[in-house]
Amino acid sequence: MSKKLVLSDGIWISWQEHIRTSSLCNSLDVPLFTLKTSTSSFVRHIWLSLKTFSLLVRKRPPILFVQNPSLVLTLFSVLVRPIFNFKLIVDAHNEGVQPYLNNSKIIKKVTDFVLKRADITIVTNSNLANYVETKKGCPVILPDRVPSAEHHEPSPIIELSDKFNLLFICTFAPDEPYIEVFEAASKLQDDVTIYVTGNYKKISDELLMNTSVNVVFLGFVSEPDYWSYMKSVNAVIDLTKMDDCLVCGAYESVSVNQPLITSHFDALKEYFNEGTVYCDNTTNGIVESISEIKNHYPDYQIGMNHLKISIETKWNQHVALAKVAFGSSRK
């Protein structure tokens, strides 16, 4: 009979800080080692690879968890696995399954290679799991956990405009339809105010100057201030052009019981199936979605309360199944 592996005997190595990673480590009782350096890209990868190898020599873990991205960390782990004979479990964010932002042929080939070679690839939804299987990988579904109340309890409610207030969660990345959101805001100047997170200096001065006055750029905000805005608005907007991406802001919206507007993709519709309006990523689609949530606001508040209970129940089921898969011996 094969010996069951103990998750707490394993380690999780990450080359960047990420809320999902720390949350999963806490839930799985797996020690987390976050290795970082401020050096340039090439030197950074060499230095972090050496530090990772040194850590593996010291710890000799029976299970190694890594986060992808970083693709370099994941590939390195695949290549050194014969030396250490660990079970390799990769938590693959969307870019680690179907590259969108960096989708060159070589990146896609390396991604497919590590999907096949990892013992288990963690994904957030069934669509991504099916894709991993087409690449001859072994997927386990484990969505993000809804942030607990301790993340936002200390953050006070703040006074905002006297209009219907929305928080648009944005990093000004290529997969975010922020121009369409700004155009939608211009059409709704008399009705709504949209507060926008993220470093707006990434966009052009012309776009900033032409944005309507009911768009308020917050820039980078601290975590306490972020939660204050989350709790103080009437609803949250988090959109993506990436199919099969369960956006982080959706989980955070559930955490504070805020109605949500998100993109019209099957994975999002399946998981966030109450208290949520789904829209295509067009100006008119966003306008219609804002109007819908504004005109039926009490119904969406009730739906979001139901959704929070449902998601927490489903997550407990997912993590129980994942623990069994992670702790089984390697084939």
For the stretch 205-228, pLDDT in tens is: 999 999 999 999 999 999 999 999
Q: What is the predicted pLDDT for the residue at 330?
A: 67
Q: What is the pLDDT of residue 1?
A: 44
pLDDT at 329 over 80: no
pTM assigned to the model: 0.90
192 - beta bridge partners?
164
Of the candidates 278, 230, 292, 286, the residue with the CA atom closest to the CA atom of residue 258: 230
Residue 106 has pLDDT above 90, yes or no: yes
Residue 51 has pLDDT above 70, yes or no: yes
> Which helix (H) or strand (E) covers residue 320, if one does?
helix 297-327
- Catalogue all structural domains in the chain, each as residue range(s) with its CATH number: 7-142 (3.40.50.2000), 149-310 (3.40.50.2000)
Closest CA to 84 of 53, 45, 47, 109: 53
The span from the CA of 308 to the CA of 269, in Å, is 15
80 versus 154: the higher-pLDDT residue is 80
